[in-house]
Structure 1
Amino acid sequence: MRFFQKTKCTLKCLLWVPAALCALYFTCSSMNIFIGFLPMEKCTLEKGKLPTLDNSVDVSLDFWSRTDVQTCTTWKAPIIWEGMFDSKHYDQNHKKEGSSVALTVFAVGRYLDEYLETFLNSSEHHFMVGLPVSYYVFTDMPEKVPHIDLGPQRTLKVIKVQRHSRWQDISMMRMKAISDVIESDIRHHSTHVFCFDVDQVFTGRFGSEALGDSVALLHAYYYHLPKSFYTYDRNPKSKAYMETGDFYYHAAVFGGSWKSVKSLVEACYQNIMEDKQNNVEALWHDESHLNKYLWLHKPSRVLSPEYCWDTQIGYRSDIQVTRLLWAPKQYDKLRTP
């Protein structure tokens, strides 16, 4: 009997080790530095073999220019890093093909005052410059949306949404709002959609090299970690439940063709509502459901953490440029009723 009790205790301790190390990782800068030395898997695509192509210009991607990082997935989709692509070549190709982009962002409650103006102004300087861009700002206070001087071929629409008392509900219900606006408006005007969290700032080119049919983002805090540390939802009662996956994706940025994004957000919304009916809430809310969907429906394009970086992580030799940065988080101030 004592043997079984000791064994049970030991197993519990072992199960807590990954969680404890993850907590240490997020709070200890020295641990962040150490994690940066853990090698990533490498692209197994042979030279001369074609990857999964989102468009003809992807043939020009140089998968062997970055030997320090993983540049393709096991299903041969590209992982986009600085040094792999010719930006002018991509821009010329997408202009020729008539690509246009809808950007959705939610600024509800105090998030509007704190982040929206900086987000939009920085986007004007760095996001899809040279392509038609339509901003869709979802907010509970349309009258407070700041005036932004927009460049040529760039428009902004404000859509009023209900403010929920819990930030988790705001985060999850955006899936339904995005689906609705794609159906009613975006699909008639834009070839692609990108969905962003508002508490971010563009700092470098976030251009047409990021466009694809289904686009996911490697989470900056997990891309060097072993899969056993990924914080997937482990509750079998949730529709977001996962035992394993390919990567850990960040819900702060996702995109693709309007058809693919509509399919993603509709599936996530349906699963969120089914969880609600069963009194279940996924561990990381819409991000948990996003990860489950992208495991079942592999993205055709993956963005490196350059496309959403947190300076709190510290120096990483593989991050040669930062294109979008996390803004300082003030959860105690912004998430209180």
Structure 2
Amino acid sequence: MVGYKVDYYIFTDRPGDVPNVTLAEGRRVRVLKVPSSNRWQEISARRMEMIQTTIESTIRGHADYIFCLDVDSKFHAHFGVEALGRLVATIHPGYYATERGSLPYERRPESRAYIPFGEGDFYYGGAVFGGLLEDVRTMAEICRRNFEADAANGIEAAWQEESHLNRYFTYNKPSKLLSPEYLWQDVAGRSKHVKIIRFSGVAKNYADFRPN
């Protein structure tokens, strides 16, 4: 987003580990402390709650758009205003060539994230999504409520908040769809289908930092 005002909100349970970085004019970082957990699944699932409450308490009135990105990732190439839209989803890099019937949606009807066979378009990645502030807030609130309803019934969707995100986008179509070049995975290497990698999750050993 070169040439535009950008605020970075970093959610972490270890704010003291966030380094001080000198940024260009019109850019700032805000570090927000969030609770840790003994389960990475719970950390993942709380994302929608954090997004909703932060928009309502902190960001509203200060931004037009918001993008929600996984922190363990890296920018490799231009990621600009061409990505902006009312509601923006990104095709998951692991499933862009997968037939619809084999996509890893939540298939249990008792879950609020349920997507029946024969429905759905793509499998959307939870590591990059965004849009206009109020549209993202509405989406986050609905995903949060559905997650909490599942939790009250003792259900955890197959891929936590990503499953609820896919449910939402299935029945509330995104206005813009980004290709996997905006959400790649370094461990996957290069692909003949993806010529430019713009944003990618870095290779890592999950056992080093996941609590379970």
Q: Same fold (TM over 0.5)?
A: yes
Q: Which residue of 2 aligns with 1:309?
A: 184
1:237 to 110, 114, 117: 110
Q: SS state of the match for residue 194, structure 2?
A: coil
Long gaps (5+) in structure 2: none
Q: Which residue of 2 aligns with 1:318?
A: 193
Residue deviations 1:215-271 (CA, integer Å, cap 9, x gap): 000011111111111000011111001112011000000000001110111011000
Matched length: 210
Q: How does 1:127-138 map to 2 (within 5 A)?
A: 128-138=1-11
Q: SS state of the match for residue 38, structure 2?
A: coil
Bigger Cα Rg? 1
Q: Which residue of 2 aligns with 1:268?
A: 143
Q: Which residue of 2 aligns with 1:219?
A: 92
| C-alpha contact (below 8 Å) 2:186/2:203 kept by paired residues | no
Deviation at 1:188, TM superposition (A): 1.1
- Tell me the distance in 2 between the aligned counterparts of 1:277 and 1:319: 41
Greater helix proportion? 1
Query: Runs ≥4 in structure 1, deviation > 6 angstroms?
Result: none
Q: Which residue of 2 aligns with 1:193?
A: 66
Deviation at 1:167, TM superposition (A): 0.7
| C-alpha contact (below 8 Å) 2:37/2:211 kept by paired residues | no
Q: Which residue of 1 aligns with 2:133?
A: 258
- Tell me the distance in 1 between the aligned counterparts of 2:22 and 2:114: 44
- Tell me the distance in 2 between the aligned counterparts of 1:315 and 1:130: 30
- Tell me the distance in 2 between the aligned counterparts of 1:313 and 1:167: 22
Q: Which residue of 2 aligns with 1:327?
A: 202
Q: SS state of the match for residue 225, structure 1?
A: coil
- Tell me the distance in 1 between the aligned counterparts of 2:121 and 2:140: 20
- Tell me the distance in 2 between the aligned counterparts of 1:223 and 1:298: 17
Alignment of 1:173 with 2:37, yes or no, is no
- Tell me the distance in 1 between the aligned counterparts of 2:186 and 2:9: 27
Residue deviations 1:4-48 (CA, integer Å, cap 9, x gap): xxxxxxxxxxxxxxxxxxxxxxxxxxxxxxxxxxxxxxxxxxxxx
Superposed CA RMSD:
1.2
